[in-house]
Structure 1
Amino acid sequence: MSQNVNPKPSQDVTAAGNGTTTHPDRFVDPGLPEHKPRLADIDPKAAKRNERIVVLLFVLSILGTIGTVVAYFAVRPDGTTAGTRLSTVLLGVGMAVSLLGLGFGAVHWAKTLMSNHEHIEERHDSRSSDEVRTVVAQAFKDGYEDSGLPRRGVLKGAVVSALALFPLTIAVPLVSSVGGDWNVGKFRHTLWKTGTRLAYDPSGRPIKAADLTVGSVAHVIPDVDEEMRESHEWITEKSKAVVLLVRLNPQDLKADQSPEGETWSYDGIVAYSKICTHVGCPVALYEQQTHHLLCPCHQSTFDISDGAKVVFGPANRPLPQLPITVDDEGYLVAQDDFAEPIGPSYWERLK
């Protein structure tokens, strides 16, 4: 704690004869309160006990780091929701234990073992004199010795090990990803292709146009074979291909054609990507009376009846539309993939 030292005498507050009050230019420096020693300052056993607690916290951080690295290699996402969830939880818990161990260890060390004496320093120019700089250097040295590091080898080893190992929780996943799949071109397309049936999410049951009434909303995924559903790529590919299907009165549609003049809907049924063009949240809140589709994250609002154009919010592009029709059996099928890449950003996109 730093305070200004006041070399000038103070003036008492006096009452003037005209009823006004004068105030002193300076106040008396009240000084520092009486220092109250902690239990660890006067009881060696308490100090040793606190040292063991700090060491334990740093060791816990070390174990958390090791656990994170082991979990990263031993429990990899297997393409299923359960597998991805388990991997994410283990990595999150490991990193949390590692970082919290460091934080709590440092705080407990500072509050129970480091010096807590108050110090007064005069304010001075930016560049101190050589004498003052020498005093400051000595103060740092004294503080280092007072922290207990020179005589607490186990504590010093624990904190150095914890600090040295924690970066592995971030570095190992980053380094191991080098040389991975950097083919960004695959984000241009999804699983949708000509003739792919639309299916309910998550059951996978194909959808007939006759199943939908005006105002109906369905969460849709591509109808794929069992081999794809069991593959590691399914979760990633599904997340890109999710669609919201809505049936409107055909006369309510204001825009329903591609730039080439082709019809992209069927009897008032339209399909749009669920991935918001702002930051990629799932757009799924539909208001039947206004035909507005709302993103719950940042309230971007799209008009389903008018090509999913943005009517409110931070998004600056319409939702990509999936062109659909029906096959010979009355099932809804895709005419093709989305006309443009889905999601909030793309490497070749200007907006």
Structure 2
Amino acid sequence: MTENNRNHDTDPGADGSDRVIATPTSTEERVISGTSEEQGSHEGAYSAEEAHPRPEEVQRKGERTAAVWFTLAFLGGVGFLVSYFLFPPDAQGDPSIAHPLVGQWANMLMGGTLTLSLFGIGAGMTVWARQVMPHYEVANDYDELPSSPEEKSSFSDFFMRGADESGFTRRPLMRRTLLLAMAPLGVAPIVLLRDTGPLPGDTLRHTLWEPGMHMVVEGTHREGDSQWIHEGDLRAGGMISALPYVEPDPEHPHGLSLDAQAKTVILLIRMDESDFSDEMTREQRNWTHNGIVAYSKICTHVGCPAALYESGSHRILCPCHQSTFDAANGAKVVFGPANRPLPMLPITVDEEGYLVADGDFSEPVGPTFWDAQRGE
């Protein structure tokens, strides 16, 4: 390794002592001398005038200007919170509010006050950096890590000196107005959480399925028991995609909303009872009826419909990412990215032989990444 490429843990200063890397060795190295000769010979990113400390009156003026901007930012933040609660998200549909443009005005008011708050903070920080903080250039070679004990011990002094030079500790007006301006913005995300709606609670753990509920073929819209699925409708090796039967209403003429269909859709599969795996629990076997088993159709990977079934191997396949489940063994994962089985629906028949649910799914349906919301 050549001398030019060699890195050192410490850098001797002018007085022979080690110094923290990336800090000036002395006040002379900061290029802040005020003589005309030094100003004329100055080179670097800053002009000669900028590289020298501002007079005290200029710094005080910058402090007051930054404080004004921070105060405006605080008022903008307070205005945002006030306008948010003055015009709640559902205010446009509130018949007690007569103005037809209330929603538009609410958006303009919230957007304008938030803009003022963010702009005020940015403008104040710019004035702070340009008129209060000193400008000087610091350059040094990169050092090998870790730092030496001497460098670590001097970091605290270096940090406090930087804080003092920035004016944060010496300019209380500017510091206090900045903290004041930041306070409303810190509260804003908390109050905005109410727009996300109520907490799900245990709603993700339950669907519309309940004991005695009949089943219909997905996509059929016949009325009455003519569409109910009879156990004789499934032959060995057959598969039917089914939904719970509910009475139609004006809002949902076919009985179920799309959201409800997505949560309750099942695969009804019939096989010889001897084909069931010995690994199935007794409870899982009790949830079947004469070789008919019901699983959620929603893949536990990312929620695609696992709509393909191969009767010879009893495999259920999700075409999105090739997750494969064993229908003869509680729909356990045998291949692919899914990491938990398809939930199983306990089934039985009524006195006429129509298939009915014997309860809800054995576990929550849907993708595994919902587990955090389920509290699992």
Output the TM-score relative to the length of structure 2. Answer: 0.47
- State which structure, 1 or 2, has the greater radius of gyration over its C-alpha atoms: 2
TM-score, normalising length: structure 1: 0.50
